[in-house]
Structure 1
Amino acid sequence: MKDDGPKGFDLAQLLAERGAERYELHAKYLNHQLPRMLHTIGFDRVYERAEGAHFWDADGNDYLDMLAGFGVMGLGRHHPVVRKALHDVMDASLADLTRFDCQPLPGLLAEKLLTHSPHLDRVFFGNSGTEAVETALKFARYATGKPRILYCTHAFHGLTAGSLSVNGESGFREGFAPLLPDTAVELGDLDALRRELGRGDVAALVVEPIQGKGVHEAPPGYLRAAQELLHRHKALLIADEVQTGLGRTGDFYAYQHEEGVEPDLVCVAKALSGGYVPVGATLGKDWIFRRVYSSMDRVLVHSASFGSNAQAMAAGLAVLAVMEDEETVANARRTGDLLRERLAALTGRYELLHAVRGRGLMIGIEFGRPSSLKLRSRWTMLQAARKGLFAQMVVVPLLQKHRILTQVSGDHLEVIKLIPPLVIGEPEVDRFVTAFTAVMEDAHSGGGLMWDFGKTLVKQAVANR
C-alpha cells in the first residue's frame, strides 16, 4: 500500500483551491442575503490582502479603509506588534483555560486597562461588545436589586436577547419579542429620565456617549446631570464604549470629554484585540463586583468559556502598548479635527450636504433636502422610495470610482459614518476629501451615472416592499 506521507491541514492550499468560491460558499451555507446585497450595490469585490488602513485586490489596486471593520481595526490591519504578541503567546504553550487556576495575562491586562479609568476597580473579560453589555445589564440588576434598564432611542448595544432589549432601533427588534421590559428615553432628555427614575424600579441607564447610529453626541452636560440623577435614585450609569472607546473620539473614552463623568460600569470591545481575537471587557466599581461574586458558591455565577483566553489577553496588552508608543489617541484627535474641518468647509458649497459632526475619528456626514428645484425633485423621488438611498448613492461611487470603503450610518438614515483606523494621517484625509468632493460634484450636476444608479436603488427598494 502506497504511503502518501503525513496528513495535515494546509491552509494556503485550501485557499488557493477554493478561495475563488467565496461568494458562492457564503450564499449556500451562510447568510444568503449578504452576497445578494453586495452584488446589488456593487460591493462584491475580492480583496486579496490588507495592511494598515488599506486593502489590495488581485490586480494590485489599493483601497482606503474608512470603516475599520465597524471599528474593530483601531490600529489598522496586521499591526506587527500585535501580530508578534500572538505568535509569542502561542509559542509559549501556556496552560490556558484550565478554569481552575489564575493565569497572569488577564490580571495584567485588567491592571493596564484600569489605568485609563482610575475610578473603576475590576474587569470581567468576555468575547464581544454584546457580551460586555450583557454583563453590565446583569451586574446592574443584581447590584441594585432593581429590574429595569433605561436606554436611549436610536441606541445600538448589540443583538443578543439582553442587549437587543436596550436596542433603540425597531428594525433590529422586530420579530424577536418578547424582550426584557426595559424603557427608551431620548438622548439628552433629563425630564424623561427623571420621570422613569421616579418609578423606583430602575437599575441603570446604558448610554453611548456618541451614538453610532447617525453619530449623535450626548448634549453638553447631559452625562454629568444623568449620573447625578441616577445616583440620587440609587441607579447606575453604564457607558457603552464598545465603538467609542480606546481612542476613537480623541480621548481614551468618549465619556472623558465631559468633566466629572465617572460611569459605574464601562463596556469595551472591538479595537481591544487589534482585530485578531474576539475580546470584550466590562469594567466596574469594586462594590458591584463584590455583590455579584458575594461568596465562593457564586464564583461562576457569571463567566464565559473563552473569556480571558491567552491569545485575547496578549493581543489586548499589545494593543494598549502600541497606543502608548505611537500616541494613537492624540493622532485620532489631530487627524479627526483635520478631516472634520475640511469636510465641514464643503457644507456651504453643496446644498445636498447638510452637516458634518462627530469627535476624533468618528465622523457623521449628513445629507438633506436641497433647495434647487431640479435636485429637490430627484431627492423627493428617492425619499418616496426609501429614506437613506442618497447616502447609499454616495457610498457606492466612493468605492467604485475612488476605491474608498465607507458605510451608511444606519437603516433609513441619510448619514455616512467614517470610523477609519486610528493610524491614518494627512495623506488619507487628502484622498478622502478629494474623492468626496468629486462625488458631490457629480451629485450636484444633476445627471450622470450617480443618478442612474439612484434609479436602480429606487427600483430595488420598491420591489422589496
Structure 2
Amino acid sequence: MKDRSQGFDLARLLEERGAERYELHTRHLNHQLPRMLHTLGFDKVYERAEGAYFWDADGNEYLDMLAGFGVMGLGRHHPVVRRALHDVLDASTADLTRFDCQPLPGLLAEKLLAHSPHLDRVFFGNSGTEAVETALKFARYATGKPRILYCDHAFHGLTTGSLSVNGEKGFRDGFAPLLPDTAIALGDLDALRRELKRGDVAGLVVEPIQGKGVHTSPPGFLREAQELLHRHKAVLIVDEVQTGLGRTGDFYAYQHEEGGEPDLLCVAKALSGGYVPVGATLGKDWIFKRVYSSMDRVLVHSASFGSNAQAMAAGLAVLAVMEEEETVANARRTGDLLRERLAALVGRYELLHEVRGRGLMIGIEFGRPSSLRLRSRWAMLQAARKGLFAQMVVVPLLQKHRILTQVSGDHLEVIKLIPPLVIGEPEVDRFVTAFTAVMDDAHSGGGLMWDFGRTLVKQAVANR
C-alpha cells in the first residue's frame, strides 16, 4: 500500500513549533490555564518522561506524585504497554466495523470481571465520566426510577449526567437544570433511609475514597448502604475511576472490607496505562439484560470509539503488567510506608493537621496553627481564600524540590498524593525530605514561602 503520509512529519512539526506551546494554548484553547500556570510558576517545558519522572528542557529531573490525575498508574511509557500498542497497530485489525465481534473486548472484559467475580458484564466507553454516565443510565432504566443519590463533595465527572451527581458546587454553577438528584453526607445511613422511603431512588453512586479531600467512607457504610438499597429495589454504584486498579492497595477500594459489593462499578484512568482514553462500566447480568432487552435495543447505549483495539490491547497489557510486577502489593507496601512517615510529622508541625488515605492515595491536610505568630498569617490566607496555604506548599515542592503534586480540591487545605504505583522507598525518601524542608520553611514564619503567600492573597482578592 502506498504511504500517503509522506508530507506529514510530526517530529519536524514539534521541533519547529514546540516552543509555541503556551502561546498556542492561550490563543486557541483554555486561555486561563497558561495564566494560572504562569502565576504559580508551573509553566515548565517538560520534554521527556519515563516511569515516575519528567525531564525539562534543561535536563532537570522531576518526581511525579500526580500521575496525570491518576491516569499513569504504571508510570509513563511502560515498555510492555507500549509494545502492545505497536503490535495492535501493526496487526491492522478490522477495528470498529460495528457489525462483528472482535476478540479483544471480550478478553479484556473477562480479565476485569475476574477481579470482581460477583459482576457479569462490561460496557466499554472512553473515559471515567462516560463510565459514570453509563451507570446512571443503566440504574435508571433497570429500576424504572428517576432519582440518583450521591455524596457531598463527590466528584464523578463533568458531563451533564455525571455533573448531576457532583458534590462540588463550583463545578455545577451555571449548568442547570441537571438530573433529579439528592446529596447525602458520606456515611449518613439515616439520610439514605429517608430518601429511599420516597420510593423514587434508582441508586446511590459513591467513591470508596473521595478524591476531593481524600475522605474514606466509614467502615461498614458500603455494606449497609447496599442492604438498604436492595431492600428498596435500588442499586449501589461504586465509582472506582481513581481508586481502582490497585491505587489503594487492593485491586478495587471497595474490597478492603467484606460486603458492600456494587451492582455497577466504574473504572477508567489507569486502565490503558495513560496511552489511550478508556472507561468501563461493570455490572450485574440482570441490569444489562434489562437495558439490552431485545435486538431492537442492541444499540440503545453505545460509544463510537468504545472497545477500540488500541484501548483494549492497552488494557490487557496493563492487567498483565500489574500481575507480573505485583503492582497492587507494591502500592500497599509503599503507600503504608509513605503515610506512616508523613503521619509521624503531625506532632512536629502545628500547621500539619492530618495524614490519611489508603495505599498510594494519600491526603495531607493543613489546619489552623496554635501559635499567635503563625495564626495571624493563617487568618490572612483564610480571609482571602481558603486553600491558599495548601497551594503555598505545592509551589515550593515543585520550584525548589522538583516534585509535582496537587491541591486536592477548590477551597481545600489538602494536598493529594496519587503517584504512579511503581514508586518505591527512594521516592518516599525524596518526598518526605522535601516536604519536611517545606514545613520547616513554613514554620519559620519568613522566607520566600510567605512572600509567595502574599502574592496569592493579592491574586485571590483581585479575582473576587
Deviations 1:358-407 (A, max 9, x none): 00000000000000000000000000000000000000000000000000
1:305, 1:384 → 2: CA distance?
48
Return closer, same or farther for 1:399/1:3 CA change in 2, 3 Å cut-off.
Answer: closer
The Cα offsets for residues 149-199 of structure 1, whole Å up to 9 and x where unpaired, read as 000000000000000000000000000001111110000000000000000
Secondary structure at the aligned position of 1:125 is classed as strand
Question: Structure 1's 3 and 129: CA in aligned 2 closer, same or farther, altered over 3 A?
Answer: closer
Q: Quick check: 1:68 aligned with 2:67?
A: yes
Query: Closer, same or farther in 2 for the Cα pair 1:297/1:353, shift >3 Å?
Result: same
SS at 2:281 equivalent: strand
- Cα distance in 2 for partners of 1:429, 1:290 equals 47
Flag as ranges the 4+ runs of structure 1 deviating above 2 A.
1-5
Distance (whole Å) between structure 1 residues aligned to residue 260 and residue 249 of structure 2? 16
Q: Cα offset for 1:262?
A: 1.1
Note closer, same or farther for the CA distance 1:108–1:150 as it changes in structure 2 (3 Å cut): same
- Residue equivalent to 1:246: 245
Question: CA 1:4–1:395 in 2, change beyond 3 Å: closer, same or farther?
Answer: closer
Distance 2:338 2:2 in 1: 64
CA offsets, 1:49-101, max 9 Å, x none?
00000000111110000000000000000000000000000000000000000
Deviations 1:108-133 (A, max 9, x none): 00000000000000000000000000
**1:378 is the counterpart of 2:394:** no
Query: Judging changes above 3 Å, is the alpha-carbon distance between structure 1 residues 257 and 2 closer, same or farther for their aligned structure 2 residues?
Result: closer
- Distance in 1 (CA, whole Å) between partners of 2:117 and 2:272 is 21
Report Cα offsets for 1:400-451 as digits up to 9, x if no partner. 0000000000000000000000000000000000000000000000000000
Query: What's the secondary structure of 1:55's corresponding residue?
Result: strand
Q: Distance in 2 between matches of 1:2 and 1:249?
A: 49
**What is the CA–CA distance in structure 1 between the aligned matches of 2:222 and 2:3, rounded to whole Å?**
69
Query: Does the 8 A contact of 2:225 with 2:260 survive in 1?
Result: no
2:30 counterpart of 1:44: no
Secondary structure, aligned partner of 2:280: strand
Aligned 1:76-155 pairs, distance under 5 A: 76-155=75-154
3-state DSSP of counterpart to 1:25:
helix
Which runs of no fewer than 5 residues in structure 1 stay unpaired? none
For the residue of structure 2 that corresponds to 1:256, the secondary structure is: helix
Deviation of 1:138 after TM superposition, in Å, equals 0.2
Relative to structure 1, the CA distance from residue 106 to residue 380 in structure 2 (aligned partners, 3 Å threshold; closer, same or farther) is same
**Aligned alpha-carbon RMSD (Å):** 1.9
Counterpart contact for 2:74–2:422, Cα < 8 Å: yes
Q: CA deviation at 1:147?
A: 0.4
Shift of the 200–402 alpha-carbon distance from structure 1 to 2, 3 Å rule, reads same
Residues 369 and 4 of structure 1: CA distance in aligned 2, closer, same or farther (over 3 Å): closer
TM-score normalized with structure 2 length? 0.99
* Closer, same or farther: CA 201–387 of 1 in aligned 2, 3 Å: same
Distance 2:100 2:119 in 1: 24
Deviation at 1:261, TM superposition (A): 1.9
Q: Are 2:384 and 2:457, in contact at CA under 8 Å, matched by a contact in 1?
A: yes
Tell me: CA distance 1:2–1:85, structure 2 relative to 1, closer, same or farther (3 Å): closer
- What are the Cα deviations for residues 275-303 of structure 1, in whole angstroms up to 9, with x where unaligned? 00000000000000000000000000000
Cα distance in 2, alignment partners of residues 450 and 34 from structure 1:
23
Aligned-partner Cα distance in 2 for 1:3–1:179? 48
Q: Distance in 1 between matches of 2:99 and 2:7?
A: 32
Distance 2:438 2:463 in 1: 27
Q: Percent identity?
A: 91
TM-superposed CA distance for 1:2, in Å, is 21
With over 3 angstroms needed to count, the CA separation of the structure-2 counterparts of 1:11 and 1:372, relative to structure 1, is same
- Helix, strand or coil for the counterpart of 1:316? helix
1:4 is displaced (CA, Å) by 14
Residue 4 and residue 84 in structure 1: after superposition, are their counterparts in 2 closer, same or farther (change >3 A)?
A: closer
Residues 459 and 297 of structure 1: is their aligned pair in 2 closer, same or farther, counting only changes over 3 Å? same
**Structure 1 371/310 Cα, relative in aligned 2: closer, same or farther at 3 Å?**
same
Mapped partners of 1:362, 1:247: distance in 2: 10
Q: Aligned to 2:246, what secondary structure does the other structure show?
A: coil
1:317, 1:278 → 2: CA distance? Answer: 14
Q: Distance in 2 between matches of 1:190 and 1:98?
A: 47
CA distance in 2, matches of 1:290, 1:184: 29
Distance 1:121 1:4 in 2: 44
1:185-204 paired onto structure 2 within 5 Å: 185-204=184-203
Whole-Å separation in 2 of the counterparts to 1:403 and 1:269 = 28
- What do residues 235-265 of structure 1 show as CA deviations (whole Å, max 9, x unaligned)? 0000000000000000000000110121000
Task: Report the Cα distance in structure 2 between the residues aligned to 1:166 and 1:344, rounded to whole angstroms.
Answer: 32
Alpha-carbon distance in structure 2 between the residues aligned to 1:125 and 1:2: 34
| 1:216 Cα deviation from its structure 2 partner | 0.1
- Counterpart Cα distance in 1 of 2:164 and 2:194: 20
Q: Does 1:265 align with 2:264?
A: yes
1:5-50 deviation line (CA, Å, top 9, x unaligned): 9x42111000000000000000000000000000001100000000
State the distance in 1 between where 2:357 and 2:124 align. 29
Distance 1:3 1:206, change over 3 A: closer
User: Post-superposition shift, 1:3?
Assistant: 17
SS at the partner of 1:17? helix
The SS at the match of 2:236 is strand
Q: SS state of the match for residue 430, structure 2? A: helix
SS in 2 for 1:358: strand
Alpha-carbon distance in 1 for matches of 2:337, 2:76: 23
* Kept in 1: contact 2:208–2:253 (CA 8 A): yes
> Separation in 2 of the partners of 1:363 and 1:8?
48
Partner SS for 2:341: helix
Shift of 1:353: 0.1
Measured in 1, the distance between the counterparts of 2:209 and 2:3 equals: 62
Q: Deviation per CA, 1:306-352, whole angstroms, max 9, x where unpaired?
A: 00000000000000000000000000000000000000000000000
